[in-house]
Chain A
Amino acid sequence: MNFVYEKILGGKNGMAALLILSAIILIVFPLFLDAFRLNLVGKYLTYAFAAVSLVLLWGYGGTLSLGQGIFFGLGGYGMAMFLKLEASSPENTAIQSTPGIPDFMDWNQITELPWFWEPFTSFTFTIIAILTIPALFAYIIGAAMFKRRVGGVYFAIITQVIAVILTVLIVGQQGFTGGINGITDLRTLNGWDITSDSAKYLFYYINAGLLLAVIIVSRLILASKFGHLLLAIRDKEDRVRFSGYDVGNFKIFIFCFAALVSAIGGAMFTLQVGFMSPSFVGIVPSIEMVIFAAIGGRMSLIGAVYGTLLINFGKTTFSESFPELWLFLMGGLFIAVVMFFPNGLAGLWNDYGHHITDRLAFIKNAIGKIQKTVFSKKVQEQS
């Protein structure tokens, strides 16, 4: 029990941070936001999966991936393929020249369902695919790179190139992937309407619950011996290697885990937003995910969630009212976060937060003292 409290929940402070986050996303948002806004927050929280994965990979592992969009996209497309197949049953698509295949395939003169779409008719397969294919893909990339001791900057650039390849491929192969528009018009999941408000609420809670679970599992990983090794690898890779550890394997593991987490986020994105498109796969979304983690604090799992929420609220508000200013602000944030507060919001809280907590404690003490004196006076008067 003590182990659970100290390691996973992070002692008193970690526990408090987790409880506050849970209270905000599980109680405050659903209470004060309407279904539309809540759905928007749900969408932001799916990006938080990628941001949390980057905290593990980049903040603790020291390996910056500029390709988390790849895995977010793979997860999202996996779910979208299943939903699209369900939406294009022969009855729904009777007007097409080939009924029973997704509409964009019909528009691109494809007359038969491609082989890699076939298994996605099964929901079980889809879930397994979402949980394994991105991680497997990450394994292949990771094994090829980390075993050859490619890291740091080169790894960042190569993951970015892979993100570009995947985007160009998706956009170019319209007939198989829906092209630039992506896979749209997703309505039902096993016959259940996913666009209804009740579905949106349910998905929001599933999403929030999964996110909290991911944070707890990540804490477990970081609290284990593996977590300490990860930090050691980040700080002095050669020394860890000379101590007899196979550094490559540890990096591969954390990269695969990060891919899995991002893919879950992608799948939840598709379920909540109702479509998936290449604009969530390429360079720009991948770098945005890095900035979510950086603003929140690259060393803080919970900070990453706040960072994601803050940037996305900002983006939505600003791009509605001052679209021109948003890019300036975003660019300025990038620069400010690396130059002035490299540990992000969480770092600021750690540096200055104690002023607030100290003051709170001071006020609490003062109230206590006043109560005490008042009470003791009363006692004196009575006696």
Chain B
Amino acid sequence: MDGYTYSELGAIFAMQGFAGISLFSVLLLMALGLAIIFGQMGVINMAHGEFMAVGAYTTYFMSTLTETYFPSFLPYYFILSIVVAFLVAGALGYLAEFILIRHLYSRPLDTLLATWGLSLIMQQTFRSVFGAREVSPTLPDWLMGSFQPTEMIDIPINGMFVLGLTFVVTLGVFYLMFKSNWGLRVRATTQNREMSGAVGINTKKVDRYTFSLGCGIAGIAGAAFTTIASTGPTTGTLYIVDTFMVVVFGGAASLFGTIASAFSIAQAQSILEFFISGSMAKVYTLFALVLILMFKPEGLFASKVRR
């Protein structure tokens, strides 16, 4: 670290820290959906990354549509496409649960294989429909540019937008899970399926909507992802392992844990990335996670759910 003055180091930390926050936002959005599906329902959804890609491709599709038919609507379409991404991914998730997942609740390792198969099919569908090369939507002007509090620090606006979006979605998930009647039913079903059924909760319906919600949030993550990077057919696979690590490291059933672990993983990786190469930063981060998990297998925040 020699050769840098303190103020330069400060600026590096601030900027890399902010780059980490963009990564944190996408990871958290992905992980929130997965924490619901994997943490609450115990389903290993290997196709979660592809549901994110569905959101990203929906945004791209909306952007092309707006550009061709309603150019005047271009500054606003992005907000709408976040909603549409949520709905499309959620609807697909609903279908996937209905056709596939509901038959496999008692066999968690088999859901892993089945959803991996689903992810292969989805990837090939993306490739057939949108082509093999990466695509990006046309972003509205207000998302471009950057914000400069001092001369050395340069913070992109899209990153701040994604952070804000993540904040809103996280609050929404917390409200749904811990304050609404529906969340109560979800948590009851997780803790004791038979008893919940006995007191009149339709556990099958709860499962279906929970899975669909998780996929919908992945769709929002996809929409947010388009502001940071371009989307290709295999984009989902790149993030799936990281996302699982976030959920496992945070403690599978704890939403607070998910936030804390997404933050620490994203920050560790992007600050390390400045000093060593990106691939080594990833190696060190993942290696540290595996080591920590070997000593503390239940993750940062242990779940209080009895299985």
Residues of A near any B CB (own CB < 8 A)? 58, 64, 66, 144-145, 148-150, 152-154, 156-158, 160-162, 164-165, 168-169, 171-172, 283, 287, 290-291, 294, 324, 327-328, 330-335, 337-339, 342
Contact = CB atoms under 8 A, between A and B. Distances in A.
A145 B294 contact: yes
Contacts of B279: 168-169, 171-172
Contacts of A333: 117
A338 to B, nearest CB: 4
Interface string B51-85: 00000000000000000000000000000000000
Interface string B269-293: 0000000010110110011011001
Among A58, A290, A335, which residue has the most Cβ atoms of chain B within 10 A?
A335
Given A150-B297, A156-B112, A338-B114, 7 more contacts: A149-B297, A160-B241, A161-B286, A164-B241, A294-B113, A332-B121, A335-B100
Contact of B244 (A152, A157, A162, A168): A157
Contacts of A58: 109
B239 to A, nearest CB: 12
Contacts of A171: 279
Contacts of B108: 152-153
Contact of B121 (A64, A328, A337, A339): A328
B124 A335 contact: no
Contacts of B110: 338, 342
B114 A334 contact: yes
B107 interface: yes
B154 to A, nearest CB: 28
Contacts, number: 111
Contacts of B244: 157, 160-161
20 contacts: A64-B112, A66-B112, A144-B294, A152-B108, A153-B109, A154-B248, A157-B44, A162-B290, A164-B286, A168-B283, A172-B280, A283-B241, A287-B116, A331-B117, A334-B117, A334-B118, A335-B117, A335-B118, A337-B113, A338-B104
A148 B109 contact: no
A148 B120 contact: no
B178 to A, nearest CB: 25
B205 interface: no
B128 A324 contact: yes
Given A152-B109, A154-B248, A161-B241, A339 B297 contact: no
Contact of B107 (A161, A287, A338): A338
B306 interface: no
Among A144, A169, A287, A331, which residue has the most Cβ atoms of chain B within 10 A?
A331
A172 B280 CA distance: 7
- Nearest first, the 3 A-B pairs at minimum CB distance are A334-B117, A172-B279, A331-B120
A168 B293 contact: no
B123 interface: yes
A366 to B, nearest CB: 43
B109 A158 contact: no
Contacts of B104: 338-339
Contact of B120 (A64, A160, A330): A330
Contact of A334 (B107, B116, B290, B297): B116
B290 to A, nearest CB: 6
B289 A330 contact: no
Contacts of A152: 108-109
B245 interface: yes
A326 B4 CA distance: 53
Contact of B248 (A149, A157, A165, A335): A157
B103 A339 contact: yes
A148 B297 CA distance: 8
Contacts of B293: 150, 154, 158
Contacts of B118: 331, 334-335
